[in-house]
Each structure stands twice: as C-alpha cells, then as structure tokens.
Structure 1
C-alpha cells in the first residue's frame, strides 16, 4: 500500500524493448499504487530488464512467433489474469498524479458498474517540451480484459510494425473517458522518434496498397482517426490541423517542430505508397 491507501485492483503491463532510458520513470509512476506492475520485455539488449527489476517490477519475457496474438493482446491474455482490469503503459509513458487520483475515485467501489474500457488523454512531450495545444490524442489504455480484445487485422506481413499491434484501439462495447493524462515523455534523443516513425510509415504505406486491410484498421480506430483516415492531402491537413486549428503555435518552437515532423511523416507515407508495391 501507499500512505495507507489500498492498491488499485488493476494490473499494469508495460511492454518494452530497449527502453533503458525510460523504464525507471514508467515503473516508479505506478509501483505501489496497483496490485501488479509487470514489464513484458522482448529480449532487450540494453539495461531495460535490470533497471525494471531493480525498481521493483516483475519482468516476464515475450517472444513473438510471427502470428496472433501480438504483444498487447498477449498481455491481455497472460499478465496477471486474476485481475480483470489491465492498464497498458508504454515504456516511455508514466501516470500523472491527477490520473492516479482519478483512478482511485473511479475504482473506489469495485462493484459499481463500469464501461468495458476507458480512453485516457495523452500528454505528449517533443524535443524536451510538453505540448499543451497541438496534440489531442486519447488512448484506450485501460480495459476490462474479459470484455475487450485487440482485433486481428490482416497486416501480419506488413513491414514496420512487427510484434506490436498497429495504430488502432482495442474493441470495447462501452467506453468511458478519463480527464487526466498519461504523460508520454520519451527521454531518447529526437533521432529515435524519426527512426520509429520511419518504420511506422512503412506500415501505413503498406496499408495504402492493401485497401481491404486499410478498411479493417479504419474501423477499429478512434472517431478522430477514422475521419483523418479518409482525408485527402494529409501532410497539409495534418499541419494545418495541429499548428493552426489546435493552436500548436502557442507551444512555440516545439509546437512548430512537432507539427512539421508529423506532416513530414504523412508525406513519407504518401511517397512510399506511390514508389513501388510493398509486398
């Protein structure tokens, strides 16, 4: 327990691979507040496992066999299944104090009716600065595993994603919304962001060339994601939406850099999808 408070009846699963710079903050933000904190590691070659264990987390190894389930669904099926509720937290994320308090209020009465999942806003950091305006993503990070699952879309052969599900949400019949954020504060250099999004753009370009799979993905995205999925001129629309409509310019240089980086990401997708067939 923490300061006499009972632990939340939730298992926190933290999927990782080479998150040595970030994992300590992720674990410390949840340890002692939840019934279980489990790092699900994919054979990291850095100090991720050692640091996680030193911080007090349980560590289990995940090995992808090239099929389903992928890593997040595997967590739903295997991580502390004695607890119905599971919170998936990336290795470069951490809970805000406000979210922790909100979760305590939400789960004060374990028997009270609850939706099958909760969407949680993401507080995004880019190039060392917290973005306050241009980025408004919500993640379906908290789910009742008995009522939710990740869809099995037909993208196992797509490049760029591999063992982890792509940019889509778990399926839930009913969804609630929490107001306080998960903080996404990646301590890796910005080059890691570009390397990661270069891989993501390979996956997105593959989807453009496989419209039947693209439609499967669109159907399991958030409402905002579904609308943007169909938008023309995505690089321009992305920049205008984030920097102008969502007032990313109020975040100064970081707001401009992030809006431009995301626009460049959308341009990469379009260019790669036109270049040649991606098998």
Structure 2
C-alpha cells in the first residue's frame, strides 16, 4: 500500500496516555510521522519511538516562530504537506480514504490547505451533535504560514499558537473527521481552557491585536468573534440549535462547559485594566 506523501507532525508535552494510539493510527499510512516534544517529563518520547515515530526535541525561545510554525520551517522539509495532529487525535478511516483519493490519484493538489472537522469526545463520550470544531490541520508548507500577532506578552498560550488558523489560500473543507479523543480526566480540559481564557481575555482588552486574529479564524469563528452575549449564545447554539441535547448528559455537560469558558473570558477581561496606548 502506497504511503501518503505527507509528514504527520504531532506536537506533544506529557502525552503518554494518548500518544501510542495516535502514532499507531498513522504510522503505516504516511511517509513520515514526527513527534515534536517539549520537555515531557513522562514516557511520551519513549513510547512514540517504540511505535516507530521520529522524535524531535523542541524548546521555545519566547518569540516567534512558535511551535507549529517552527515545525513547518524545520521538520521533514523534504515533504511539502504537513498534517498536524494533537497527541490525543487519530484520523478516521474515512479521512484516510479521502486523503488517498486526493493525494494518490496522480493529479496536482490545488488547495493550499484542508480544513478538517473534529469528531469530538468529551468526558468519555463521542458527541454526535452540538458545536462542530473544524481545524486547518493539513497544509502545504510552501503556501501556508501561521500569523504572528503581537501577543507574546499575553498569558495562557506560551509556545502554542493561539486559537487561529494558518493563513493559506485556497483552503478546502473535507468531509471525514479527525477523532479527538482525550483519555486524560476531564479536569485537564478545564485546566487547559482556564489558560486559554487568560489569552482570550487579554485579547479582549487589545482590539487591534484581536481584530488581526479574527481574520485568521474560520468563517464560523469570525462570526462568533463579533457576537454579543457569548456565554448564552454558545449554549443556545450548541445545545438547542445544533441539538446537543440528543447527546444526553454529555451534550449538556459540553454545552455548559463551553458556556462557562466564554463566561470566564468575559469576566477576566472586565477585571483587566485597558491596554496602555
């Protein structure tokens, strides 16, 4: 079976609970699988190597490029296409088939990037309804670049690019999913989103930086970026309009968690003084 001419890049830090399933899901299908690890203190690196992945060490220097852009510039540059997977994600079988139709039919791949929906798991259950998350996870590194907003002083993100997409045109949305199944306890979701809300709140007080980031989001993200009453809108959209109630208790829990996240952002933003002009 021919391998896809794509480098799978998996940025990690302390992902020993998830990394084996992630590497196993891609190692036989892609030309390269590289785990780019940031000083893990658990067995992430050893487990990834045992499954056949290449492991590259990464230490952030506090500036740009941040981690994913660094990967585009440094990791397996012999392959133009880069597929970013988190350490708790796996491509569905349908996605692998879709990529084979695109990349192995002998025709030139015209898009510069592909937006891929997530099959999202929350508190141990696969959500079938509610809010849909889409990631620009597959990019041609020769035609894509992550923005460099003036947010290095912001808390919450550190070495990670914020909640924005790499800039690439044209981009095409695929139908099949990346399965985002985090095996860590749900408290880690809240810990991450507490940090993310610090970054989002910092942006709320800096409209020029915030506006630049808005342009690097998906269309859905851009619309929500401007919306008022975000906690209520988030809950109503996910639980009612997108029928998250059909996912039972998990759908309610996720809609409430995302609404709480939006409430955190607003509360933290109101607590901060305006940015100095």
Match of 1:27 among 5, 14, 23: 23
Asked if structure 1 preserves the Cα contact closer than 8 Å seen for 2:6 and 2:82, the reply is yes
Other structure's SS at 1:212 match? helix
Q: Which residue of structure 1 lines up, in the alignment, with residue 186 of structure 2?
A: 190
Q: Which residue of structure 1 lines up, in the alignment, with residue 167 of structure 2?
A: 171
Given the two structures, how large is their TM-score scaled by the length of structure 1? 0.97
Other structure's SS at 2:26 match? coil
Q: 1:236 to 1:59 in 2, by over 3 A?
A: same
Match of 1:257 among 253, 258, 263: 253
State how 1:27-46 maps to structure 2 within 5 Å.
Answer: 27-46=23-42
Over the aligned positions, Cα root-mean-square deviation in angstroms equals: 1.0
Q: Which residue of structure 2 lines up, in the alignment, with residue 112 of structure 1?
A: 108
Q: Deviations over 1:66-112 (max 9, x none)?
A: 00100010111111000010100001111111101111111113442
- Aligned partners of 1:113 and 1:77: how far apart in 2? 21
Q: Which runs of 5+ in 1 are unaligned?
A: none
**Cα distance, 1:178 vs structure 2:** 1.0
Q: Which residue of structure 2 lines up, in the alignment, with residue 64 of structure 1?
A: 60
Match of 2:144 among 133, 140, 148: 148
Asked if structure 1 preserves the Cα contact closer than 8 Å seen for 2:205 and 2:272, the reply is no
**Cα distance, 1:277 vs structure 2:** 2.9
Q: Which residue of structure 2 lines up, in the alignment, with residue 90 of structure 1?
A: 86
Other structure's SS at 1:217 match? helix
Matched, 1:242 2:238: yes
Q: Which runs of 5+ in 2 are unaligned?
A: none
Other structure's SS at 1:105 match? helix
**Cα distance, 1:53 vs structure 2:** 0.8
**Cα distance, 1:135 vs structure 2:** 2.4
Match of 2:273 among 270, 274, 277: 277
**Cα distance, 1:278 vs structure 2:** 8.1
- Aligned partners of 1:88 and 1:110: how far apart in 2? 23
- Aligned partners of 2:25 and 2:273: how far apart in 1? 44
**Cα distance, 1:113 vs structure 2:** 3.7
Given the two structures, how large is their TM-score scaled by the length of structure 2? 0.97
Q: Which residue of structure 2 lines up, in the alignment, with residue 212 of structure 1?
A: 208
